[in-house]
Amino acid sequence: MASDEPKAKKLKLSEDEKTESPNKKAATELSPNVLFGMGNPLLDISAVVDKDFLDKYSLKPNDQILAEDKHKALFDELVKKFKVEYHAGGATQNSVKIAQWMIQEPHNVGTFFGCIGKDKFGDILKQKAEEAHVDARYYEQDEEPTGTCAACITGDNRSLVANLAAANCYKKEMHLDLEENWELVQKAKVYYIAGFFLTVSLESILKVAKHASEHNKLFCMNLSAPFICQFFKDNLMQVMPYIDVLFGNETEAAAFGKEQDFETKDIKELARKAQVLPKINSKRQRIVVFTQGKDETIMALGDKIETFPVLKIDPKDIVDTNGAGDAFVGGFLSGLVQEKPLDQCVRAAHYSANVIIRQAGCTFPEKPDFK
C-alpha cells in the first residue's frame, strides 16, 4: 500500500505566510493576484475533422505542434470545410481561468501576462478574460496579429497546431520589467508557466522563477509537449532547478525521459527521476505530477510515489479532450493557492478535467459542483 504521508502534506506558499487558521474558510483568505500565469494567449479555432484532413497536413491524432509554412492553408481550410468554434485559449491562460472558476470568489485571484495583437481576436481574448474574472494584463503590439491555435478533433483525440504570431512577440523589457506589472508578480504566491512559453521568452520565465525561489514561493511548470522536451531542452533545463511543481502527461514524460537519458519507460520511475533533478531552493522538495488520460495520476514527492485514480466517465459523454490537461493544472493550482493538502489538489484537478472534457473547448458551466 502506498504511504499516505504526502496526502497530509500542505504547502506553505511563502516564508512570510502566517499560519493558516483552521476555522476560516480558505477562500475568504485569498486576495486578488495571488496566482500568476504567463504564457501564449491564443484564440482556439476548434473543429471535428476527418483522418484525411490530418493526413493532408501530416498531423498525428494526439499532438501539439507549432505551425510551419506547410500549415499556412490549414487554418483557412478548417474554417471553410468544417463547423468551427472559437474559444479563448492558450495553455497557461486556460489553467488560470479554471483555477479562478474553481475558487469563484474573490475575482481576479489570477493574473495573466502574454502578448496579443491590436485586432478583433485580441478584443475577444480581452473580453473572455474579463468574463472569466482573470486579471489579464496583455502586452499589445501591432506588428503581429493575435495568435491562433487550430484544435483538430477526431474521436477523443485532439491535434493542436499553434500559430503563435503576436504571442511570440512578448518582451521582458517592454512589459514584465515595467514597475506596475512587476508589482503584480511580487503580489503572487503561486506561479504557473506552461512549457510552451520556453519558445518565446526564456529571460521572462527565469526572472519570475528566480523571484519565486528567492522568496520561497511556489513555481510550477508544465512539460506541455514532446517537442518542448526535445527541441527546447536547453531552455527547459535552465528553468528546471527553480521548478517546485512539474506537470506533464505520459507522452511528455516519456519524451522528457528519453532526452534526459533516464533509461526507463516506467512512468513512476520517470516521475521519481524528474523529482530528484537538481533544485536551487532546498526548502522545498520538488513535486512531480504526471497524468495518463483515463489511467491513474502519478505524484512523486520525496521518496514516495502516490497514485490517484481519475474520475470515471462514459466515453459517450466526452465532447472534447482539448483543454483536459490545462483544466487538470487549473484545478490543482486552485488547491495550491488555498493551501489544500496535495491529495485534495489532485481531487480538484481530476474534477476540473472531468468537467472540461464534457464541453467544447476549455469552457465550463457557471459554477463548479466540487466540495
Catalytically active residues are 326
**Closest to 324 (Cα-Cα) out of 305, 297, 306:** 297
Q: Note the Cα 133 to chain centre separation in Å.
A: 17
CB atoms within 10 A of CB 43: 22
Residues 208, 185 contacting (CB under 8 angstroms): yes
DSSP readout, 23-87? TS-HHHH--TT-EEEE---EEEEEEE--HHHHHHTT--SSEEEE--GGGHHHHHHHHHHS--EEE
Omega within 30 of 0 (cis) for the link into 106 = yes
Find the helix packing angle between 324-337 and 91-103, rounded to 10°.
50
Determine the Cα–Cα distance for residues 191 and 243; give it in Å rounded to an integer: 10
Q: Note the Cα 237 to chain centre separation in Å.
A: 18
The three grid cell numbers given for residue 52, joined into one nine-digit string: 484525411
Count Cβ atoms within 10 A of the Cβ of residue 283 and give its class: 0-12 exposed, 13-18 middle, 19 or more buried: exposed
Residue 361: how many CA atoms within 13 Å on its side-chain side? 19
Q: Which residues contact 19 (CB under 8 A, 6 or more apart)?
A: none
**Closest to 330 (Cα-Cα) out of 14, 92, 39, 87:** 92
Determine the Cα–Cα distance for residues 151 and 86; give it in Å rounded to an integer: 10
